[in-house]
Amino acid sequence: MAKELIRLVDCCMAFDGEAVLDHINLYFNDSEFLTLLGPSGCGKTTTLRIIGGFLTPTSGEVLFDGVRMNDVPPHLRQVNTVFQRYALFPHLNVFENVAFGLRIGKTVMEEVKGKQVRRKEKLPEEEIRQRVLEMLEIVSLKGFENRRVSELSGGQQQRVAIARALVNRPKVLLLDEPLAALDLRLRKDMQSELKRIQQQMGITFIYVTHDQEEALAMSDTIVVMDQGKIQQIGTPEDIYNEPKNAFVADFIGESNILDGVMHEDYVVEFFNRKFKCLDKGFQPMEPVDVVIRPEDVDIVPVEKGQLRGTVTAVTFKGVHYDTIVDFKGFKWLIQTTDYHEVGKEIGIVLNPDDIHIMHKSQYSGMFGDYSSYSEEYDEINDPTYVEEDEDTEGRGDEE
Amino acid sequence: MNGKNRMGSRLAMALVFFFLYAPIFVLMVFSFNDSSSRTMWHGFTLDWYKELFQDGIILQSLYTTLLVALLSALIATVAGTFAAIGFYNMRRRWRTPLLTVNNIPMTNADIVTGVSMCLFFVAAFGLWNAFAQQFNESHTAQLPSLAMGFGTLLIAHITFNIPYVILSVGPKLRQMDRNLMEAAQDLGCTWMQAFWKVMLPEIKPGVVNGLLIAFTMSVDDFVISYFTAGPSTSTLAMTIYGMTKRRISPKINAISTLLFATVLLLLVIVNLREMRQERARKHPGAQREISSRRGNLIGAGALAALILVLVLLSRQSGERVVNVCGWGENIDPALIEQFQDETGIRVNYQTAESNEAMYSKVVMGGSGYDVIVPSDYMISQMRQEGLLAELNFDNIPNYALIGDAYKNLSFDPDNQYAVPYTWGTLGIIYNTTMVEEPITSWSALFDPQYAGQVLMINNPRDAIGVALLYLGYSVNTHDEGEIQEAYELLRQAKADGVYQSFVMDEVYDKMEAGEAAIAVYYAGDFLSMYDNNPDLAYVVPEEGSNWFVDAMCVLKDAAHKEEAEAWINFICETQSCLANMDYIWYASPNAEALAQYPDYYREAYGEEMDPALYEVMAAPEEVLANCEAYDALPAEVNAVYKNLWTELGIKG
Q: Specify the CATH number for the domain of residue B475.
A: 3.40.190.10
Instruction: Report the C-alpha gap between B217 and B157 in whole angstroms.
Output: 9
Assess if residue B218 is contained within a domain.
yes
Q: Are residues B40 and B65 in the same domain?
A: no
pLDDT score recorded for residue A397: 36
Q: Are residues A198 and A308 in the same domain?
A: no
Q: Is B197 on the interface with A (CB under 8 A)?
A: yes
Q: What tens digit of pLDDT does each residue of A178-212 get?
A: 888 788 888 888 888 889 889 888 889 999 999 88
Instruction: Report the C-alpha gap between A10 and A5 in whole angstroms.
Output: 17
Assess if residue B469 is contained within a domain.
yes
Query: How many C-beta atoms lie closer than 10 Å to residue B119's C-beta?
Result: 14
The pLDDT of B249-270, averaged and rounded, is 81
* Interface pTM, i.e. ipTM: 0.79
Query: How would residue B541 be classed by pLDDT, with cut points 50, 70 and 90?
Result: very high
Q: Are residues A225 and A262 in the same domain?
A: no
Query: How many C-beta atoms lie closer than 10 Å to residue A15's C-beta?
Result: 15
pLDDT score recorded for residue B244: 67
pLDDT at B289 over 70: no
Q: Is B208 on the interface with A (CB under 8 A)?
A: no
Q: Are residues A189 and A314 in the same domain?
A: no
Q: What is the mean pLDDT of chain B?
A: 86
Q: Are residues B646 and B524 in the same domain?
A: yes
Q: Which amino acid is at B241?
A: Y
Domain of B504 in residue numbering reads as: 423-547+632-650
CB contact under 8 A, A83 and B284: no
Residues of A within 8 A of B183 (CB-CB) are 81, 83, 87-89, 164
The shortest C-alpha distance from A166 to chain B (Å) reads 10
Assess if residue A249 is contained within a domain.
no
Q: What tens digit of pLDDT does each residue of B162-176 get?
A: 999 998 898 889 888
Residues of chain A with pLDDT under 50: 1, 374-399
Q: Is B144 on the interface with A (CB under 8 A)?
A: no
Q: Are residues B475 and B563 in the same domain?
A: no
Cβ distance B69 to B215 under 8 Å?
Answer: yes
Q: Are residues A233 and A278 in the same domain?
A: no
Query: How would residue B550 be classed by pLDDT, with cut points 50, 70 and 90?
Result: very high
* A54, A89, A106 member nearest B198 (Cβ): A89
Radius of gyration (Cα) for chain A, nearest Å? 25
For B131, residues 6+ apart whose C-beta sits below 8 A from its C-beta are B143
The shortest C-alpha distance from A157 to chain B (Å) reads 14
pLDDT at B129 over 70: yes
Phi, psi for residue A176 in degrees, rounded to 5: -100, 95
pLDDT score recorded for residue B305: 67
Q: Is B183 on the interface with A (CB under 8 A)?
A: yes
pLDDT at B523 over 70: yes
Higher pLDDT, B262 or A376: B262
Assess if residue A83 is contained within a domain.
yes
Percent of residues, chain B, with pLDDT higher than 90: 33
Residues of B within 8 A of A52 (CB-CB) are 182, 186
Q: What tens digit of pLDDT does each residue of A367-391 get?
A: 777 765 544 444 444 444 444 444 4
End-to-end CA distance of chain B: 53
Q: What tens digit of pLDDT does each residue of B496-511 get?
A: 999 999 988 788 889 9
Q: Are residues A178 and A297 in the same domain?
A: no
Q: Specify the CATH number for the domain of residue A340.
A: 2.40.50.140
pLDDT score recorded for residue A86: 86
Residues of A within 8 A of B182 (CB-CB) are 52, 54, 74, 81, 83, 87
SS3 labels along A334-367: EEECCCCCCCCEEEEECCHHHEEEEECCCCCCCC
Residues of A within 8 A of B296 (CB-CB) are none
Give how many domains chain B has, as a whole number: 4
The pLDDT of B349-370, averaged and rounded, is 83
Sheet holding A286-292, edge to edge: A273-276, A267-270, A256-264, A286-292, A355-359
Q: Are residues B459 and B563 in the same domain?
A: no
**Which residues of B328-417 form beta strands (DSSP E)?**
346-352, 371-372
Instruction: Report the C-alpha gap between A252 and A358 in whole angstroms.
Output: 15
Q: Which of B180, B177, B173 is nearest to B197 (CA)?
A: B180
Query: How many C-beta atoms lie closer than 10 Å to residue A337's C-beta?
Result: 9
Higher pLDDT, B382 or B318: B382
Higher pLDDT, B312 or A283: A283
Instruction: Report the C-alpha gap between B219 and B240 in whole angstroms.
Output: 13
Q: Are residues A129 and A19 in the same domain?
A: yes
CB contact under 8 A, B284 and A91: no
Separation in Å, CA B248 to CA B36, B61, B90, B253, B353:
9, 15, 50, 9, 11
Q: Are residues B413 and B443 in the same domain?
A: no
CB contact under 8 A, B183 and A399: no
CB contact under 8 A, A75 and B286: no
Chain A residues bordering chain B (beta-carbon distance below 8 Å): 52, 54, 73-75, 79-81, 83-85, 87-93, 95-96, 100-101, 104-107, 146-148, 164-165, 168, 393, 395-399
Phi, psi for residue B389 in degrees, rounded to 5: -100, 145
Q: What tens digit of pLDDT does each residue of A245-269 get?
A: 888 988 888 888 888 999 888 889 8
- For residue B327, give the DSSP letter: E
Q: Which of A180-189, B129-138, B307-316 has the lowest mean pLDDT?
A: B307-316
Q: Which of B86-95, B139-148, B438-447 has the lowest mean pLDDT?
A: B139-148
Domain of A302 in residue numbering reads as: 255-381
Q: Are residues B72 and B186 in the same domain?
A: yes
Q: Are residues A260 and A199 in the same domain?
A: no
Instruction: Report the C-alpha gap between A202 and B225 in whole angstroms.
Output: 67
CB contact under 8 A, A81 and B185: no
Q: Is B182 on the interface with A (CB under 8 A)?
A: yes
Q: Are residues A208 and A174 in the same domain?
A: yes
Phi, psi for residue A229 in degrees, rounded to 5: -125, 150
pLDDT score recorded for residue B294: 58
pLDDT score recorded for residue B282: 60
CB contact under 8 A, A397 and B197: no
Assess if residue B627 is contained within a domain.
no
Please report which helix (H) or strand (E) contains residue B422, including its range.
strand B418-431
* B180, B188, B190 member nearest A101 (Cβ): B188
- Model-level pTM? 0.71
SS3 labels along B88-141: HCCCHHHHHHHHHHHHHHHHCCHHHHHHHHHHHHHHHHHHHHHHHHHHHHHCCC
Give the Cα-Cα-Cα angle A350, A353, A359 (nearest 5 degrees). Answer: 100
The shortest C-alpha distance from B182 to chain A (Å) reads 8
* A88, A100, A146 member nearest B284 (Cβ): A146
Q: Are residues A262 and A313 in the same domain?
A: yes
pLDDT at B267 over 80: no
Assess if residue B489 is contained within a domain.
yes
Q: Are residues B102 and B188 in the same domain?
A: yes
Cβ distance B187 to A80 under 8 Å?
Answer: yes
Assess if residue A398 is contained within a domain.
no
Give how many domains chain A has, as a whole number: 2
CB contact under 8 A, A395 and B178: yes
Higher pLDDT, B408 or A114: B408
Residues of A within 8 A of B289 (CB-CB) are 92-93, 96
CA B311 to chain centre: 24
Assess if residue A345 is contained within a domain.
yes
Assess if residue B57 is contained within a domain.
yes
Point out which residues pair with A245 in neighbouring strands.
none
**In chain B, what is the greatest distance between 2 CA atoms, to the nearest angstrom?**
93
The pLDDT of B556-572, averaged and rounded, is 92
Q: Specify the CATH number for the domain of residue A231.
A: 3.40.50.300
Q: What tens digit of pLDDT does each residue of B3-42 get?
A: 667 888 889 989 998 888 888 888 888 888 887 777 778 8
Alpha helices (H) in B513-634, listed in sequence order = 523-532, 561-572, 574-584, 591-605, 611-617, 621-625
Separation in Å, CA A106 to CA A5, A115, B425:
20, 19, 84
* A93, A104, A396 member nearest B90 (Cβ): A396
End residue of a domain, out of B245, B261, B291: B245
Q: Are residues A117 and A167 in the same domain?
A: yes
Q: Are residues A224 and A261 in the same domain?
A: no
